[in-house]
Structure 1
Amino acid sequence: MPSPQPICNLSDDALDWQVLLHSGHASPADRERYQRWCQLSPAHAEAGREAEGLWEEIGHAPISQGQATVPEPRSKRRWAMSIAASLVLLIVAYSGWQQMPVWMADYHTAIGEQQRVTLADGSQVTLNSASALSVAFSARERRVRLQAGEALFETADDPRPFVVETAGQPVQSRAATFSVRRNGQVVLAQGSASIGGLPLAVAADAEAQTAWQRGKLIFNGKPLRQVLAELERYQHGRIVLSDSTLGALQISGVFDLNDPQALLHTLEQRYGIKVTHLPWLAVVH
C-alpha cells in the first residue's frame, strides 16, 4: 500500500495513516515516517492523536444492546462523521483506480466474479475475481498478459510456446495446467512450465491453492493476515486488522466463496475474533 498522501485535510491524512499502520503490512520505515509526519506541526500532532483515538474506539470499544453511553461532544461527532465519509470516498476512488486495467483488457471479471474462456488455440483460461487478461497470439508464440488478479491456464498442446506476462518474469509452458497471479506467483498443477528459464516443480498443494475455481478457499495453518488479504480479493472495500498481533493467528478450514461475508462470521465463531463493519470497511479486532 502506498504511503498516505495529502488529499483533503489533515484529518483525512491521519486516518489514512491509521489504516496503513493497522493493516498488518506496515514496515518499520512506515512507522518512522508516521512519527515524522506527526512532528511536522502541532496541527499534525493533534490530527494524529484524534485519529488514533477514533481507531481505538472502532477497534476496542465494547458494544452491547442497552449499554448506556455518554453523548460525545457535537464537534467530535461531526469530525468522526467527516473523516468516515472521507474514508469511504478514498476507498471508492482507490478501488476505481485499481480497476482501470480490468476495464481495458480483452477479458475481465468484476470483484467476486469468475469467468472461463477458450482462446483461439483451444487453451482454457479461468479468470478469478477482479482479473484482466489481454491476448497477443502470433505465428511464433502464444503470448498473454495478466493485467490484474489471477488466472488458471489449461494450455493446449501446440508447437508455439505459451507465455504469460505478469509483474514478475514471464511464465512459459507448452501443455500444462497452472495458475498465475499478477504479482508473479505461480502454482503448477500439471505438466511443465518455467520462469526465467528455470523449471517449476508441481505444487504438492496445487488442488488447495486453485480451489477458488471450484468456489472454495482452503487454508491450512495460514496466518490470519494472509487469510484476510485473500478474502479481500473477493469483496468490495477493505479488511484491516486493528491489532497487528492478531495477524499471526493460524487459520485452517474450507470456506465457501459464494458468501464472503459468511467467512468473516465463521472466523468470529471459530477463533473468537470480532469484526466491526463500516461502509466499505471491515475492522478485525
Structure 2
Amino acid sequence: MIDALSMPAPQPISDISDDALDWQVLLHSGNATDADRGRYLRWRNLSPAHAQAAQEAEALWGDLGQTRTAAELTLPAPRRRRWGSALAASLVLALVGYGGWQQAPALLADYHTAVGQQQRITLADGSHVLLNSGSALSVDFTDGQRRVLLKAGEALFEPASDPRPFVVDAGGEPVQGSGAVFSVRRNGGGNRVVIAQGEAQVGDRLLQATPDARALTAWQRGKLIFNGKPLREVLAELERYQHGRIVLSDQQLGAMQVSGVFDLDDPQGLLRTLEQRYALKVTYLPWLAVVY
C-alpha cells in the first residue's frame, strides 16, 4: 500500500492500478479502520492518475456485485477429517496424471508459455497477443484470412486493422473479432470467450463486451478476482498458475464461497491467504498441496 504522506516518486500507471485494487481488497475486507479509509482518500487525491485508477477499481468492484465481505462469509463448522484409502488413491492418480499442462501441444506450437509464465507476442500483421500460463498457439496467415489456432490454455487478442478476417480456433466454435479485444480460453468442457472491447462473432452469435470483462481478464494484470466462487473452482484456477496439483480432501468444503482480489505474482501466497481468511489447512508435499 502507498502512504499518501510519504510523497512517492511518480509510478507507472499499471502500478497505480494495482494499488487501487489492493485498496479495494482492504476496504471490503471487513477489517478496514477509519484511519485506513482516511489514508485511502489521501492516496486517491495524490494525482489525477490516482483518482482515475481509484474510480476504475471502485467500478470494477461494483461490477462484481460484491454484497458480502470475506469476514461475513459463513464458514463450515470445524470437524475432524481423516484421509482414507479413497483419498490416498486419488492423490496417487493426481500425481501420475500430472503432465505439465499439455506439453504435447506446446511442443508443436509456434508460441507457448510454461506454467506461471505469460508472454506478449506481436504477430506478422501487427496484432498483439498475450499468452496466459501454460498456453500454446500457432499462426496460419494467408492472403485471405488471419487464422490463429489456440492449442492449449488462454490468450488475449488485440487484432491489428487489416481487411482480412481475424479468426481464433480453439477446437470449438471459431471466434472472429477483427475489430474487438477479446480473450479465448480452451477448456475441456467448452471454450470461454470474453469480449473486453467491441464485438466478435462466435459461431453464429454476435457477442459484445460485458461489465465483468475486466474481472474475467484481470489475469493480464497479474490478478485473480473472485466473487462468491466455490472454493473448488478457485483452487482449480490457482492450479493453472503453479507447478503440481492442488487437491481437496473434503468435497463438501469445495462448495464454500470465496471472494477477493489475489496477486498472481505469488501463487503460494494466495494459498496462505485462503488459509488465514477461511480457516483452512494446507499440507504441502512435493508437487502436491492438500487442502482440508
- Same fold, TM exceeding 0.5? yes
CA distance in 2, matches of 1:225, 1:179: 23
Secondary structure in structure 2 of the residue aligned to 1:236: coil
Secondary structure in structure 2 of the residue aligned to 1:283: strand
Residue 4 (structure 1) aligns with:
none
For residue 88 of structure 1, report the CA deviation from its aligned partner. 8.0
Deviation readout 1:93-130 (Å, 9 max, x if unpaired): x3147211012210100000000000111110000000
Q: How many residues align?
A: 208
Q: 1:262 aligns with which of 269, 274, 280?
A: 269
CA distance in 2, matches of 1:52, 1:272: 19
CA distance in 2, matches of 1:175, 1:99: 32
Q: Does 2:270 correspond to 1:239?
A: no
- Structure 1 residues 192, 87: CA separation in 2 closer, same or farther (over 3 Å shift)? closer
- Which amino acid counterpart does residue 96 of structure 2 have in structure 1? L
Residue 180 (structure 1) aligns with:
184
Matches for 1:30-45 after TM superposition, within 5 Å: none
Deviation readout 1:210-256 (Å, 9 max, x if unpaired): 11111111111111111111000001111111111111111111111
CA distance in 1, matches of 2:203, 2:84: 49
TM-score, length basis structure 2: 0.67
- Which amino acid counterpart does residue 283 of structure 1 have in structure 2? V
Residue 114 (structure 1) aligns with:
118
- Which amino acid counterpart does residue 98 of structure 1 have in structure 2? Q
Deviation readout 1:182-216 (Å, 9 max, x if unpaired): 12100001011011121012121111111111111
For residue 133 of structure 1, report the CA deviation from its aligned partner. 0.7
Matches for 1:128-139 after TM superposition, within 5 Å: 128-139=132-143
Deviation readout 1:131-178 (Å, 9 max, x if unpaired): 001000011110000000000001112111110001211111112100
Are the equivalent residues in 2 in contact too, given 1:105–1:147 (CA < 8 A)? yes
Residue 189 (structure 1) aligns with:
196
Q: Does 2:84 correspond to 1:53?
A: yes
Secondary structure in structure 1 of the residue aligned to 2:147: strand
Are the equivalent residues in 1 in contact too, given 2:100–2:243 (CA < 8 A)? no
Matches for 1:97-108 after TM superposition, within 5 Å: 98-108=102-112
Matches for 1:1-285 after TM superposition, within 5 Å: 53-54=84-85, 90-91=96-97, 94-96=98-100, 98-183=102-187, 184-285=191-292
CA distance in 1, matches of 2:210, 2:253: 28
Are the equivalent residues in 1 in contact too, given 2:159–2:166 (CA < 8 A)? yes
CA distance in 1, matches of 2:177, 2:100: 33
Are the equivalent residues in 2 in contact too, given 1:169–1:196 (CA < 8 A)? yes
| Runs of 4+ with >2 A deviation | 51-56, 86-89
Secondary structure in structure 2 of the residue aligned to 1:189: strand
Secondary structure in structure 1 of the residue aligned to 2:151: strand
- Structure 1 residues 97, 174: CA separation in 2 closer, same or farther (over 3 Å shift)? closer
Are the equivalent residues in 1 in contact too, given 2:158–2:181 (CA < 8 A)? yes
Unaligned runs of 5+ in 1: 1-50, 59-79
CA distance in 2, matches of 1:88, 1:203: 36
For residue 259 of structure 1, report the CA deviation from its aligned partner. 0.8
Aligned-residue sequence identity (percent) comes to 68
CA distance in 2, matches of 1:209, 1:131: 17
Secondary structure in structure 1 of the residue aligned to 2:162: coil
Secondary structure in structure 1 of the residue aligned to 2:99: helix
- Structure 1 residues 96, 211: CA separation in 2 closer, same or farther (over 3 Å shift)? closer
Deviation readout 1:15-54 (Å, 9 max, x if unpaired): xxxxxxxxxxxxxxxxxxxxxxxxxxxxxxxxxxxx9635
Deviation readout 1:39-93 (Å, 9 max, x if unpaired): xxxxxxxxxxxx963566x8xxxxxxxxxxxxxxxxxxxxx9xx98x668614xx
TM-score, length basis structure 1: 0.69
Are the equivalent residues in 2 in contact too, given 1:158–1:175 (CA < 8 A)? no
Secondary structure in structure 2 of the residue aligned to 1:95: coil
- Which amino acid counterpart does residue 278 of structure 2 have in structure 1? Y
